[in-house]
Each structure stands twice: as C-alpha cells, then as structure tokens.
Structure 1
C-alpha cells in the first residue's frame, strides 16, 4: 500500500548517523559490482590497519573519535589515522591482488569517507586545510599504495554539507516516521477479542524479557497463536523498550509467510510500520547464472544511479514482501536482492532466515553492530536452530572436490593443491578405521591447506574472471575449513573419513556445540526470544545454543485435554533394528485393525526409508483395499504438496512417512484431515562412530553423563512429539496415537512426553482395548 511520509519541520530532532552510513547513502554511484575478488578476512583487515598505524611516527593518532552536528544531524565515526605534524588524515583499506582491480564505486565511497573525516578534523581542531589520503595495503606483500589530495577546509565543508543535504530529507522523514510509529504502536490494541489459553502467559513473558533486557526461552503448544503472542508485546512496548528494529527469524520459507501474516495481524492498526522480507539471493535473482556486475546484468548496471528513486518508492510500501520488492525493483530496473538489503536501514520489522543473524558472516548481525541498533530478535521454531547452527559452523572437504579443482587449476596453483592432497592421503594412509575423530588438525595438513588457500586467493585476485566452477567452490570450502580449524576447540571435532570402494575421502570440521559461536549474537540483542512447540528440556537448549545464564523461561500449558488424544504405548513391539523382522507383522496388523475400526486419514512414521518401505510393502499386501501414499527420498516441492493434499476432509487412507522428515512438522491437518498417527520409532539417532564421538565430547563438556541424553534421547523424543502434534491441532480435534516400543513407557522417556497426554498401554493381540494405565515410575 502506498503512503506518503508525514511532513517534517526544520525543528524536528534528527537521528545520529555514522560516517559509513552517510557516505553509503550519498556517495555511491554507478554499477553494482560483486565480481569475486578474495577480500581480506576481518582479522586480516584489523591486522592490516595495525600494521599501517605502527609504521607511522610519534605524532600519529590512531582511531580518532569524531562527532559533528549539522543542522541537527549528528555525524559520528572514527578516522583510521591522523598525522598531526603533516596534517594528514588517512583512511586505511586492505585488499588482495592487483590494485587496479579495485572497483571504481568502492573508490568513490572511500574518498567520501576520508573527506568527511577531513572536514570533521578541520572543524574540531580549527584547521585551514588538511591532506586527505587513501592508504591501500596489499595484504600479501605489505606494500602501501597511497592516493592523496590537499583539501582546503572550505572544499571539505562543501563536500560534507552536500552529503548531509542528500541525507537530510531522509533523516527528517525517518525521525517523523519513528515518532508517529511510536505513537501508533503505543496505542496498539490486541487484534482479537481476547487471548487464547496460554497466549497471554507467553505474551507477558516476552514483554517482561524485553523490558528487563533478558533473553527468553519459551515452549508453547501449536494452536495458541505464538506469532501474535510474541510480536504483539514487542510492538506494543516499542517506545518504552527503546527498540530500533525487530528481527523475526525462521528456519523455512513457509515460516516467513506465517510470520508476515501474524505481524500484519498484530500491527493492523499501526499504518506506519514497515515490514521487510529478506529472500536468499538465488531465489530473488532475476537473471540466474549471470554475474553481479554491470557488464553482465542489466539490473546491476547503473544500480546506484537508480537506487534513490527505487528507495523512495519502496519506503512508501507498508509491507515489502518478496513479491512487492520484486515489483518495485523491476519498475526501477534495479536488483531486487540488493534493494532488499538497502531497505533494511529503512524498515522496522525484518523477516528473514536464521542465517541472516546467526551465521559467521551474518548480514543483519554485522549491520546492527555497525549502526548500534537496539534490536529484538524472535527465533521461530527454535528447536531447528541447533542443527542449523551446527551446519553454519561446520566445514566438510571432499577429496573428489579437490581433484575436480586440481583439474581446472592453473599451473601456478596446482603444486599447492598437490601438496594438500599428499598431506591428506598421508593422514589417512595409516588410518585403521574408516572413520577417525581428532582433537586437532595436524600441523603439516593445516600448513598445506593455508598455502593452498593463499595461492587460490592470489590467483583469483589476479584473474577474477576465473572465479567460477569447481575451483571457486573448492576455494570457498577450503577457506571455511581453514577459518574453523583456527578456532577448533572442544565445541567441534576434526574428522577423517578414509576413501572406500563406495565413497571418496573426506575431511571435516564438525561443530557439536554452537554455543561459543552464538553467544555474541545473543549479547548483541536487547532481547532474543527462542520459542517453539517442542523446546524442552530448557537446560539442553540453553547449554547447546549458549543462551545467557539469566535467560528467562516460560512453559505454556497445552490448551488440549487428555480425552482428545487416545495415546497408547504398544508394549509387545520392538522397533530396534534387530527386532524389526519379527515386529513388522504385528505393526502392520495393528495399523490395519485401527483403520478398519475407524476409517479415516492416518499418518505412520518410521525411523528410515528402508523401514518405511518394508512396512508399506507388507501393509499393501495385507490390506490391498486401504489407500496408501508414501514419502520418497528427495521429494520435490510439488510432490510434497501432493502428499499433504491427500489428507482431504472426510478422506480415507494411510500416509507413510519418515520421522523427522518433511511431514513430521510444519504441516497443519486439523479436524478429520488427520485422525490418528502411528510412530514406529523413538527417533533416536543411529548409534554409530560419529554419534558416539559426540556423546563422549558432550559428556566431557557438560558432565553428569549428559552426553547420551544430549546426543540421542532429547533429539529423538523431540521428533516423536512433533510428529504426534500433527493429530491434535485445535481444541475441537480428537484422534488416536500409537507409540510402538515398550521403551516409551520407561520413566526417563515417559517424562519427556507432553504432560497433558494420558498414556496407556496395549498389546497388538488386544489392540482394541488398552491395558491398565502405566504404573508409577517408582514402582518399575
């Protein structure tokens, strides 16, 4: 919806702006240019600045803090260096490769920053003129290339004021926007006539956490309206809590759509609220396969010249979802993906994937730190964050990928790849087992890896047009591996998988506990709320994710009643691998008996595709008249949608699925679209060498023999509870749940099942009636 910003006056108090943001807004021009040139890492950049600063004389001042007001706009920043004797201000930049390859639009931005600091120094220290220098340090050689201009204070003032004037209209607009938004949000009314059961408890927990600057971990059942319960209190308390941005993070694309809908409902009377959806580059790209620069893509050509008009159009849209951004971007012939990144600064609520905040190079995290925003973070379906974060801080390397990279590598790079391959094979030559875990990466292997990474970086810097295909992919993988190898500690493990007749060799840094990497993310927010329907035990997630010790906890009781779900543990069926041949006839017979007694839609979950296929084949043979449909490996989106669509109102049949897969969570089948589920597994991860290494490491890290629970029991039972949660979706639903395996009745397992379940027992030879309720754990 288009809306004009409120009118501003010259007396409107204006916001602070960093030198970086001011110059990025007003000084960039020309093309987008993201042709790959290996950039120095953050650590290398810091080291490069320190190297340049250490070379200067005694009168050289480092990291000079500056702040200057202009017509109410306060500009702040730190100049890299100022030589008081020579009256020279320096802006230091690090790079790799050919100096001539530095992008022209980047150079314009650097000059703008340097000249802004030049005027701030002239003004603060009453200087008539200064020398303004760009110092480019080649990380590889340590050589400096210096570009220098002598600038009068008057010329620098004119340059500074021109930048400020470009920004001023937006600064005034944004200040008025925030004032009006605070008023609207302060008067926000709850969007429903009343709270659902448990919804108020969750909302109050979120509000208290934000008000006291604490994190919150919350378990709340499906169906109470968690999106509204978490967004409404943060929006309602926006001004009192001093919020600049709200980041709503999801694990899946479908979660973003639900979030946008819930936010719209929570803030339906706040017409000024700007909501932005961030989409992955590959999904937002209008010209897939083309490089991101003006010579290859028409949406990159002249991007910064057309950006002001596109930005003005976009800011008038209340909801910048993917479709709206795409429409606005194409109307102005700019890239939708990079327009979305630009609009983060001018949006209030951003809906995005986990990686935008938690990844090692997370865009939202870096921008929030740079701009010193006060951000509230909502992590939806937070049980997914553990595995996602482990993936973010893990790095596999495949021998086949190395060989493919070598085949396309230039002659100058090939010797370093050959050395890496020799050290790789030497490590595995004496490896007695196929899989071995190590505490450290051997020095010779790590040195060879770093040499190969450096050689590839230099090659791509010299010939950026070759940055594609297997060589570039291997470089990125090796770079991530090298960085994580430098940070290797007891939170991760170095793994070696020897080549076999079926697989190529593999090395990996595998993260087990992402907590050390995520703590800074939690600390950077004023509050982070991790919420899910299955997020217990809280201590497990607090330990594994690195949530602060003072994290608040909320566990919302289920609105569902025991009589809605007939839960039975089948005690004479074992789903252990060795027992499956004997148990399979009993299992399929009970599914068939249940269906015959009450025809309708059912879901049957199994621990693997192999088990699923065996059960399905037997069931079809025994019950050929019952409709069935099955999950298969690598199902496409259309196939997944067709699977779910089979669960029609008043439909009949049994869907066969894998526990923990696409149909164990995130699908909503209320009423008689699903009236029962069979779960033939405790969901425990496989007892193999890799998981045993994890168990041992977690035992050593957390003590109290928690390794087994953290590796096997808690992750497995979470999948069971999630799958069972497909049956009861509303307070009007009713259904049946069979849990195949006597271990579900063990006290330590029973304790992890939802408290509202009344769990009975039955046997397959008497499936029509449950046994007496399970005895108290103390009597077992």
Structure 2
C-alpha cells in the first residue's frame, strides 16, 4: 500500500472531462444559478418533501453528499459529489434525482448524456454503499418561467452501473497515470536544478530564501524589493523548489501586464533549457488568441468550436507529453492541428501544467476567474506569486465593482417586443428615473445601502431574458446578449455587497450610470488568498509596505520583507526641483520652465531619456512648447497605442547612442513600469508632479471611506497611489550593476515631509536644485566622475 497514491475528483468534473463531446456553444443562454437556479432547485425539493409523508410511506432527502473510494492499479480514486434528491418509497426502488433548472421549452429538451452520466455515478455509489441490486434515476427539468417539469426516468441494475463507473475510472486512469509519471520526472529534475545565474545579487539570495520559507510555513509575505534585484527569478526558483518537495501542487504567476508575462516565460525557458522538466502555460486573452475576426463561440459560426470537445482531449494529451514552455504560438499550432478553440484549449490544458502564468483576473475577478480551480469545493495547494502587487489595489476595485446604465435598458426596450421582457425593463427604467431625480445636486448621488429593489428587478429581467433568448437564438442582437451578461455580473457583485461597498449614481443629461463600488477590497482579496497555501506579494514600490499589507487583504501574521538596492549609490544622481508647482491651478505657469529643465538635463549628456507627466493634457501642452523651442528628437506616448507601436517606441532607445532621444510619457502608463532598458538604453528620467490621481467622485469616495476608517483618507486615495507611480517611473533608470543615470523630480511637494518619507533610502543623498545653473553644476559633477 506504500506506493498507492490518492487522487480526488468530483463526480461532475470526472463526467465533464471524460464524456464531453460536440460543439462549444458559449452563446447558448443558461440559467442564473446564483439566484433563480437555486430557487428552482429548492422549489422542486420542497414539493418532494411535502409529498413525502409517513401516510404515503415516502421519504425524501435533499442535498446528500456521497463519497466513494475506488482502487485501480496504483491509485485510490476519491470520488465525491452531492445528490440533489433521494426518493424512498416503500415497495419501490430508491430513486436518485438530478434536478436541472432551465428557461428552455421543455418539449425541446431531450436526454442529455452528461446529466444522465452524473446521475448514474451517484446511483452506483449509493447502491454499493446500501447494498442495492437495482436503483432508479430521475432527471427532473424544471422550467423557471412556467414552473412545469419534465422527467426522464431510467432503471439500472448494479452490474451495468458498475461497468459504466469502472470504465470511467479506467479512462481517467490513463490521464492520472501519465500525470504521475510527469510529476516524478519533474521532481527529479527539480532536485538537479540550480539557480540559473552564476552569482546572486546582493539581497537576491535573501529574497529567494524568504520566499521558500514562506511557502514551507504556509504563510503569506509582502516584499518590497528594489528595481533590478531580480524579483522574477528570485520568486520563481524557490517556488519551483518547494513544489519539487510536494509543498504545493501548482504555481500561479500573476501579472498586470503582457510584457511582464514575457519576462516570466523567458525565466522559465532558461531553467528548462538547463534540464528542468516543468510544464508552464501562459494564458492569453480570448480576443487576442482567437483565430476568427469576430469571436462567436458556437459550432455554427466557428469551425474551431464545431466538434471541439470531440478532439480537445487528444490535443491536450499530445501537448503535455511533448511541450514544456507552452506559449501563445504553441497553443495556436496545436489548435490548428486538431481544429479546436485555442482559448478553451489553453484553459483545459492549464489543469495539467505545473505553472499557470496569467493576468490577475483569472484568480481574483469574480467575472472571469478560473472556476475549475477556485470554485467553492476546490481544495488544492496553490502558490500565488503576485508580481507588481501595487497594481492590484486599483485593479481589484474594478474587479469587484459593477456598473449599469439607464441607456442600455432603454435601447433593449426598443429592440424587444416580448411583453414580459418589456415589463421587466419598464420597472428598471422607472427605478432609474427615480435615481436621476436624486442626482439633482452635483449630478451624482451616493448611498451606503445596496439597491435592493433594483436587484429584484434585474433578477426578474434575467429570468425573462433567458426565456426570450433561448426562444429567439437566431434573431438575437448582440446588445441584448451583452445586457444579459452585464445584468448577471451586477447580480454577482450585489451578492458580495457589504459594509466595504458604496452605491453611487452619476447623471449626464438624461443618462444615469449606477455603480456598486468596492471601496475596500481587502476582505474579498483575503477570501481568495485563503485558497492558496502561500501568497507572495512583491514589487519595487510596495511602500509603505504596511499600507499595502492592509489594503491587499493581508494580516498582522503575514511576513514583511524590505530589501535595499544591490547597486552602488554612486551610479545614481537624484535631483529635486522644489521651486516649481505642478498643481492643477499652476500648470500653465510651469510649462516653459519645465521645457528649460528638460533641455538642460538632456543636453548635459547625450543618451536616452524619458519624461513622465501626470496626464496626457499636461504632456501634450509641454510637448507643443518644447518642439517649438528645441530641435530634439522626441517620441510621444499616445492614449491608444497598439502593442506594435509600443515596441516601436521602445526600439528607439538603443544602447550607447550618439544622439539624444527623449520619450514623453504618462505616469502610471505602459512605459512607467514593467520595461527593462538596460545597458545605457536609458540614462535619465524626469518626473513632473507627484502623480496624484485625478480628483473625481470615485477617489473622493475612497478618501472619505478611509478617513473615517483609519484617519488617512488623503494618503489612501491620493498620496500613496501617486507616489507609487513616481517610484515606478524612476525605477526605469538603474536596472543593472553597470547602469548609471539621473532622476529629476519636479514639484515643490517632493520637499514636503510626508512625500519625502516615501522616497527610498537608496536614493539618498538627494540634491535640491532651484535653477538651470544648479542643475548643470550637479549633472556635470555626476557625469564627470565616470570620465576620470
């Protein structure tokens, strides 16, 4: 028994993986399981219990958990599931009931292979546990609109159920056996894997050791590690080592930007080239990886969706036995070969990989998170590596919030003639008219309570839309389907609503937008973090670190690590111009002096520079003046740059250039973090302003909330997010031991006590400059020492 290994899987997951077939049909509208579907189940169960009286000698049990152990070869399979109902009537066979709620016409519903297979598994487990030779199955379809039911009844002997069940296990064994073989190969290779660089940078070994110990002790950690220390490999390497010792089952490397995922895949590739046998998959967004111009996920409109489930398992098996680094190109190659949907392929494939590299959304966002991993009953030992964790503050507020607008309901009303749908739409429209009246002062309205009436109206609309859409699939317009899913998301977010939420509405003429706004996401993030064995938050700008620990769902028990820069202080020159105000009211007066400062810095030594501004308008205004006064080569960031344009922008920053190139960029934008311009590809950055987010309703709501909670409203809403952007932008300059560069901070507030407290220790000493002569003097002194 020593070599026996246990494998756990739910009945539903087993059935859906082994027996799935046919087309992808994401366009088919299902049931709102969060509310109406649950109500439908309960109605059927209530009816059964009411009929199950002692007088009729009938008993009914609902939501019965069944567990079964099945030994096959070197594995014990633990199978678990929950039966909707068990009907016991004297003199008759026990009945296993599987309830399915639907909004479709019951006459169109035929026997469903997966529904029946699920019930057969429950029937088998129940039969062997209760020594039954024969058992019945009832698949009950409950129409949510009419409350009518359709039944599909079957009877089975234990022998035929046993054949069916053991065949499932036999087929699943092939996958588990293969996975176990790959796991053993992986662990043997991990033992032989060394740190992929000859030497550790200062602080890098400490970082790696702390990450390993955090995982080993099932803890979380918040790490502030300076730019250039090598955070990516220093978190990946110890995580891989911990997995090789079975301290975790899967690694999720979570990022905010595509370019970061490329660095991560490169780090893994280097270790794989050195012999590491580790399956790594990168998840690419659906609209980017899709082969079709329009993403219509159904067999009618897409040849890759048609028959997808007939071929996808073969594709997965081939990939996991032939590839280690599974990039977008690899996925597309196999998707074309097997003619399957590349996005659905990569999601399924991730189940069999050791590491999933993906956006934060796939773990934290309730709209798109990977339910195959993070559902309520999932229990796995995951490691979460949260890169550039400072981004998760703002991103999580978006993830856990939901907005709906009056206009979309009015447009739907014009396109739908169905009376019941229109009635539901009218209720919502009337609600919005009432909200619009409340927005008379300042064009907005705020309340702490959740909008309960609207929630009820929207749930009713969802139910009516499901019926309408399923009846009229060939005639449905995209806007109606989009409204349906927006309503579903609103309901999901409403069900998360607590004291950390605010409801607000904004009015613009006749239009009204209502938002369920998640001001403090810390508890929601904490709930997800609990699904990991260990979560590692890291960033160069996790400062103040206790603020980030608090707001990102950490606790006092979580570790904190702050590391100094490994690079010589003499390689950096930091200047503060503290006699220019970049406050909104003073901006126009600052343009010409800022142009002079930029010119002075950039003419002192030829090379590549970036200038960061707090907004596109500020940047464009300064750019207009600068190009009229000087002939320097300037690239300017636009608000809608394609990935190709971004690469072209960065390609201009060539090393050891003999001319001066200046990039005008926006703080917090794509060029202010996540880019690695080493080897003189950037020798200086000029940062205009302290990066404060714009004053708006949302940020003021955050300010008021945290002022009341911690007496730090301005810091949480404006100061900390602003300085995070400043520190990130400044971090583009020194990326390696050989890099040398200047950082110029332009704003009188940088000399303020509170802002100075957020400036890293390794930036010191900092020089203050008040005019062109000061800047020239300091820069000459700095650059000349490298020419001696």
1:108 paired residue number: 113
2:96 paired residue number: 89
Aligned partner of 1:471 among 475, 480, 483:
480
Asked if residue 359 in structure 1 is aligned to residue 365 in structure 2, the reply is yes
The 1:333–1:770 alpha-carbon spacing in structure 2 relative to 1, beyond 3 Å, is: closer
Offset, 1:601: 1.9
1:592 paired residue number: 599
Aligned partner of 1:671 among 673, 676, 679:
679
> SS of the residue aligned with 2:732?
coil
2:786 paired residue number: none
> SS of the residue aligned with 1:89?
strand
1:65 paired residue number: 66
1:240 paired residue number: 245
| CA displacement, residues 224-249 of structure 1 (integer Å, 9 cap, x when unaligned) | 22121111111112143432111111
CA–CA distance in 2 between the matches of 1:18 and 1:558? Answer: 48
CA–CA distance in 1 between the matches of 2:753 and 2:559? Answer: 27
CA–CA distance in 1 between the matches of 2:258 and 2:563? Answer: 26
CA–CA distance in 2 between the matches of 1:64 and 1:127? Answer: 18
1:6 paired residue number: none
CA–CA distance in 1 between the matches of 2:624 and 2:25? Answer: 55
Aligned partner of 2:466 among 457, 460, 464:
457
CA–CA distance in 2 between the matches of 1:126 and 1:664? Answer: 67
2:567 paired residue number: 560
Offset, 1:44: 4.3
Aligned partner of 1:204 among 198, 206, 209:
209
Q: Residues 395 and 510 of structure 1 are in contact (CA less than 8 Å); yes or no, is this contact kept in structure 2?
A: yes
Q: Residues 385 and 536 of structure 2 are in contact (CA less than 8 Å); yes or no, is this contact kept in structure 1?
A: yes
1:528 paired residue number: 535
1:33 paired residue number: 25
Offset, 1:443: 5.0
Matches within 5 A, 1:278-317: 278-289=283-294, 291-316=296-321, 317=323
Offset, 1:386: 1.5
Asked if residue 581 in structure 1 is aligned to residue 561 in structure 2, the reply is no
CA–CA distance in 1 between the matches of 2:613 and 2:382? Answer: 41
CA–CA distance in 2 between the matches of 1:751 and 1:21? Answer: 52
The two structures, once aligned, show a CA RMSD in angstroms of 2.5
Matches within 5 A, 1:253-332: 253-289=258-294, 291-316=296-321, 317-332=323-338
| CA displacement, residues 102-139 of structure 1 (integer Å, 9 cap, x when unaligned) | 687xx211211111121122222211110022223334
The range that moved more, 560-569 or 518-527, is 560-569
Q: Residues 232 and 267 of structure 1 are in contact (CA less than 8 Å); yes or no, is this contact kept in structure 2?
A: no
> SS of the residue aligned with 1:436?
strand
Aligned partner of 1:572 among 552, 576, 579:
579
1:24 paired residue number: 16
Offset, 1:457: 3.0
Asked if residue 424 in structure 1 is aligned to residue 429 in structure 2, the reply is no
1:492 paired residue number: 501
Asked if residue 519 in structure 1 is aligned to residue 526 in structure 2, the reply is yes
> SS of the residue aligned with 1:453?
helix
Asked if residue 341 in structure 1 is aligned to residue 323 in structure 2, the reply is no
CA–CA distance in 2 between the matches of 1:635 and 1:103? Answer: 50
Equivalences, count: 756
CA–CA distance in 2 between the matches of 1:169 and 1:384? Answer: 42
CA–CA distance in 2 between the matches of 1:255 and 1:88? Answer: 54
Q: Residues 418 and 468 of structure 2 are in contact (CA less than 8 Å); yes or no, is this contact kept in structure 1?
A: no
TM-score, normalization by structure 1: 0.92
> SS of the residue aligned with 1:505?
strand
Offset, 1:587: 1.6
Aligned partner of 1:737 among 743, 753, 757:
743
Gaps of 5+ in 2: 53-57, 780-788
CA–CA distance in 1 between the matches of 2:584 and 2:688? Answer: 11
The range that moved more, 361-370 or 312-321, is 361-370
The 1:89–1:549 alpha-carbon spacing in structure 2 relative to 1, beyond 3 Å, is: farther
| CA displacement, residues 244-270 of structure 1 (integer Å, 9 cap, x when unaligned) | 111111112222221111123345555
> SS of the residue aligned with 2:760?
coil
1:764 paired residue number: 771
CA–CA distance in 2 between the matches of 1:157 and 1:17? Answer: 18
CA–CA distance in 1 between the matches of 2:110 and 2:68? Answer: 29
Aligned partner of 2:154 among 143, 149, 156:
149
2:557 paired residue number: 550
Asked if residue 629 in structure 1 is aligned to residue 635 in structure 2, the reply is yes
Q: Residues 579 and 770 of structure 2 are in contact (CA less than 8 Å); yes or no, is this contact kept in structure 1?
A: yes
CA–CA distance in 2 between the matches of 1:627 and 1:261? Answer: 32
Offset, 1:731: 1.5
CA–CA distance in 1 between the matches of 2:362 and 2:736? Answer: 33
Offset, 1:560: 2.3
Aligned partner of 1:709 among 712, 715, 731:
715
TM-score, normalization by structure 2: 0.91
The range that moved more, 364-373 or 672-681, is 364-373
Offset, 1:724: 0.8
Asked if residue 173 in structure 1 is aligned to residue 178 in structure 2, the reply is yes
> SS of the residue aligned with 1:21?
helix
The 1:200–1:24 alpha-carbon spacing in structure 2 relative to 1, beyond 3 Å, is: same
